[in-house]
Chain A
Amino acid sequence: WGTYWTLPATMSVAGSRLLHLNELLRQSSRTVVGVSSKIISRERYQSKLVVHKVSISCCSSVLQTFDKILIANRGEIACRVMKTCKKMGIKTVAVHSDVDSSAVHVKMADEAVCVGPAPTNKSYLNMDAILEAARQTGAQAVHPGYGFLSENKEFARRLAAHGVTFIGPDTHAIQAMGDKIESKLIAKKAKVNTIPGFDGVVKDAEEAVRIAGEIGYPVMIKASAGGGGKGMRIAWNDEETREGFRFSSQEAASSFGDDRLLIEKFIDNPRHIEIQVLADKHGNALWLNERECSIQRRNQKVVEEAPSTFLDPETRCAMGEQAVSLAKAVQYSSAGTVEFLVDSKKNFYFLEMNTRLQVEHPITECITGLDLVQQMIRVAKGYPLQHRQADIPINGWAIESRVYAEDPYKSFGLPSIGRLSQYQEPVNIPAVRVDSGIQEGSDISIYYDPMISKLVTYGSTRAEALQRMEEALDNYVIRGVTHNIPLLREIITHPRFVSGDISTKFLQEVYPEGFKGHQLSDSERWELLATAVALFVAAQLRSQRFLGNLSDELETCSHVCLPGNSLVCRFLQVDLDGKRVDVSSEWNLASALLPVTVNGTQRTVQCLSRSASGEIDLQYLGTSYKLRVLSKLAAALNKHMPEKVPEDTSSILRSPMPGSVVAVSVKAGDTVAEGQEICVIEAMKMQNSMTAAKTAKVRPYSSALSSL
């Protein structure tokens, strides 16, 4: 068995399951339970293995690629690339900034080089330092991940000059696709659908009608100098076009002093669907099906899936072929993504091409069984593609949720920072893949992207994948930073999303007032209350159980959960205003996860906090709810307790001790936001950052910085 464990492509569908089974087997060897599941899983594994051995053996014969690869990135994508490198027997080099020196990607790599201080322009964007690191470690190739230097042609050029392979497309492809106007022209030439429109200036209303007729309704009339929605009109027929022309030109004249107008096809209810392409240096190119990425906020993707519920095989094929022809037009090699807007009638229009590995690539890997990073490395070495278009399947369904350290209640996600005091990924659920670059104790800092992980679930059907996603989100433990799991869980369970009725405007349309968390139905409310009450009672009962009496030696020397008497209270009946609710659970009060069965429904809730005075904070259906449970007596007496108005101490900022001011970060007249640093005090060999507790304006002040 041991030999096979190293082989499976962790990224394929089967692979992700295998990893899980591997875990299971390791666990089951320790415990007595799970003997039967062990046998079953081995059988299942064996059947999968056959498929795998075939695919792996055919590539292993030509697998000689690089000895050592430097990954010019951080976080989850650096870890992701290293996983494949390890699988392929390639040594890895991590680069990191000084604050990242104990990050996961650094620990995972065979070697690590510090390339500068925390700010990205001094470290992860510092080409000189990264080139030097490559030279110093003797790395033969560099994988740039996404972001940072991944689409920087200068970086690719300089690597080439140093004789280091850039794992990505050639510089001319990066350049061609990097320019919006140029890429559109190339696309047009390669017979890729682009958004139809009239590039010239429209003279009068009648010309506007004529052009609109050519483009096809609906059209958008917009000011040439425009922006921010001013001078913009949507027209669905000739009449509206004339009217729109008049209004828009007036508005444009008054707003911008320039009444020139353009006409463009209006994409109604657009979806963002992208095609993954894979090309080699020998002129071969494949399309690896689509990814539906319509759920976005502020043009950033939140939930992605593959395949799309919307595309039929013909559209998919047409899109794929156009994407491939574009790739061929720029002699593309490596993995790339062609983004399209798709309207409600399945017309699709080229948007742009990303010449790198996309964040959401795992879902494509799940449904095709390919390891994209492995393919990129092979192609970079110069091997031809090993698959034909006919070999590319769509197996099942994969969904990705981007888990961010963000407050979803503020414009669908404002970054938050902090230390992950508790962190547990739901990897014990089958067919779940978590790509992350952090662990318990990691800091989510101000310097980098606040992404915690990419949570991918797979199923043979979309419903199965969604169901697993629900379960995975419920079992995901993140403490210490605000996260967007409430929003993710709401999206994937929303009837519109479940039915596939989505567009890039999904979030604005579904939550016009902003996201407010899960809205409890009556039965959910009962369920939540019953759970909280039962938890309260379980905790109360446990606090009466003292061990260490000489009467029971067994109990004192074991830390095993649930001694016999706990079972007595496993099943609890809650009477809520005459309504009987049955709640049962193991009531393991130390675990971050609390699996409960309420009136026959199984759920995992999380108890975020529990206080002696009965306050219970429960994460239920993704959203956290604050509850207070009191005994009858305490509840009756509670009416006498005075209401308290929280005291406002935010206007005072006092140094915790005498020290010297080493830096003042604001100047008179500045407006400081909550949490913004005002000054730094050094005392006792320690620097303390003094931050504003609320938004305020800085008045003239006097201070003298002490010289160090």
Chain B
Amino acid sequence: MAALKVVRSGSRLLNGFQSLLNNPRKVTCGVAATVTKHPRWYCVSHLSVQERIERKRKAALSGGGQQRIEAQHRRGKLTARERVELLLDPDSFVEYDMFVEHRCSDFGMEADHNKYPGDSVVTGQGRINGRLVYVFSQDFTVFGGSLSGAHAQKICKIMDQAMMVGAPVIGLNDSGGARIQEGVESLAGYADIFLRNVMASGVIPQISLIMGPCAGGAVYSPALTDFTFMVKDTSYLFITGPDVVKSVTNEDVTQEELGGAKTHTAVSGVAHKAFENDIDALLNLREFFNFLPLSNKDSAPITECHDPSDRLVPGLDTVVPLETTKAYDMLDIIHGIADEREFFEIMPNYAKNIVVGFARMNGRTVGIVGNQPKVASGCLDINSSVKGARFVRFCDAFNIPIITFVDVPGFLPGTAQEYGGIIRHGAKLLFAFAEATVPKITVITRKAYGGAYDVMSSKHLRGDVNYAWPSAEVAVMGAKGAVQIIFRGKENQAEAEAEYVEKFANPFPAAVRGFVDDIIQPSMTRKRICRDLEVLASKKQANPWKKHANIPL
């Protein structure tokens, strides 16, 4: 606690300096006041200290120097400070630890020219659209952004404070890795950050934006945060680089193939989205930030909304094709119901058979999960289950209501899936939906077959409001398969199939049992959901006390 107190008073001190320096008029006043109080002390040391402050500040602001800044620009990347400036509201950034320097004395590091005020990271807090956020931005121009003990300490400081005040942390990663000169101190620094990432998980939203290299142990910090975004062509994430890969496994692979934005957003699922360039990424991050509550004590934000909550969406009445085997785009439905057709999709290129992302309903942030019939018929497989589960857990942790659109023919069969552990991974999605206590609204648009029906936020998993569209079919399986089992070896399969369709390929079996609360006209969906969210805003539900649950990882 004592340490924390120091940190806080220290920061207050810094705040004072900041505002003094930002406003020259205030400085003059300050001088006048101080002179009368401590005339001698001030007169003696004033010039030199003031000069040193100025010099250090100037040095801090220019990072690794003009040459390195230009090199950074040539790579198509912005500097750490430019990034912070773009990310935050104008003039809102309050910097911490500008005077911190590394403490390494080996390998000539103690020399003055090897000391950079602030070291290789810029930290502080500021505002995005007026809302508080803590930021660290690694400075590639100083020792390649490498992580020293001091660097780690700076990050830890803002994370601790962010946790206490309840505000998100955004990390802008651009670092070559550990500061090798510092050895184990650097490793300790990583671990300190990891610990805080874990402690902050579920308390404040944590976002990582990879804007350059991020390799080795460093990758685990972004991996522990809630969202990892990347910049196309200029950012990489990998445990070991192409050279090590070559020497160990004899694989020839480029940086981009091994850990570029495309790899991680489409193949590995490590990153949640990639953006064109630094500016695009930072501006999108601002937009994304508006969806998030500041902490787990905060409710989902409500922005001013111009889209009427009772707007009918006639297009939805014809969106589901008449043939049950024909695909359609779930995004058509999501865009149709969301405020202003706006949907911030998370992981749009990974496990595309499930769609997850944020939207607003009558101004309020909601998380949307939907099976995507356009891709692999919208079935659930390993990747889509994990993708969905993580998203649902984020929403639940941060009080964001979940709206689920169901059109799922089942879990994907096959050896690849079974060997890969679809049972284990599918259970994650089931677990996530079941434990979530935020408002849960489910709309069955077409198929809800088998176990996958149960999983997709069904009534049985404490869905608050479950709707079916007239095209909904809630059943154990499709008619053909069911009839083959029920009437195995019998004739008149076609007749039996027709009977099965008549009995089960409609919303009634679920509706008569109360498993769906109502059968609604698709065009009314937005209106109904907005009204339900209004009602469910005061929902209170708790899970039994436990240290933590044991999700099947």
Contacts and interface: CB of A to CB of B under 8 A. Distances in A.
Interface of A: 98, 101-102, 419-423, 439-443, 542-548, 556-557, 559, 561-563, 566, 588-591, 612-614, 630, 633-634, 637-638, 640-642, 644, 656-658, 682-688
Interface in B92-131: 129-131
B76 A686 contact: no
A685 B316 contact: no
Contact of A544 (B130, B276, B362, B377): B130
B376 A546 contact: no
B86 A685 contact: no
Contacts of B352: 656
Nearest to A560: B308
Contacts of A98: 322
Nearest to A639: B73
Given A419-B332, A656-B376, A588 B325 contact: no
B85 interface: yes
Contact of A548 (B332, B364, B373): B364
B322 A656 contact: no
Could you tell me the dominant secondary structure of chain A's interface residues?
loop
A603 B85 CA distance: 36
Interface in B69-85: 73, 76-78, 82, 85
Q: Find the residue from A545, A556, A641 having the highest chain B CB count within 10 A.
A: A641
B77 A640 contact: yes
Given A547-B303, A589-B340, A683 B279 contact: no
Contact of A441 (B82, B131, B319, B375): B319
**Size class of B's contact patch?**
35 or more
B301 interface: yes
Contacts of B299: 548
B284 A686 contact: no
Contacts of B56: none
A588 B316 CA distance: 23
Interface in B304-359: 304-310, 313-319, 322, 324-327, 332, 335-336, 339-341, 352
Interface of B: 73, 76-78, 82, 85-86, 90, 129-131, 232-234, 275-280, 283-284, 286-288, 290, 299, 301-310, 313-319, 322, 324-327, 332, 335-336, 339-341, 352, 362-364, 373, 375-377, 379, 409, 412, 414, 478, 480, 530, 534
Given A633-B85, A683-B377, A547 B322 contact: no
Given A613-B280, A640-B77, A641-B76, A420 B315 contact: yes
A561 B363 CA distance: 11
Nearest to B286: A612
Given A543-B290, A640-B76, A656-B376, A634 B283 contact: yes
4 A-B pairs with least C-beta separation? A441-B315, A684-B377, A612-B287, A642-B76
B318 A546 contact: no
Nearest to B282: A634
B279 A421 contact: no
Contacts of A644: 232-233, 276-277
A634 B302 contact: no
Contact of B309 (A439, A559, A658): A559
A325 B116 CA distance: 99
A422 B302 contact: no
A637 B352 CA distance: 34
Contact of A637 (B86, B301, B322, B326): B86
A641 B283 CA distance: 14
Given A559-B308, A642-B233, A685-B409, A546 B73 contact: no
Contacts of A562: 306
Given A640-B77, A642-B234, 8 more contacts: A421-B335, A421-B336, A545-B303, A546-B301, A589-B340, A657-B412, A684-B412, A685-B377
B304 A542 contact: yes
B304 A547 contact: yes
A637 B325 contact: no
Contacts of A556: 302
Nearest to A647: B262
Contacts of B233: 642, 644
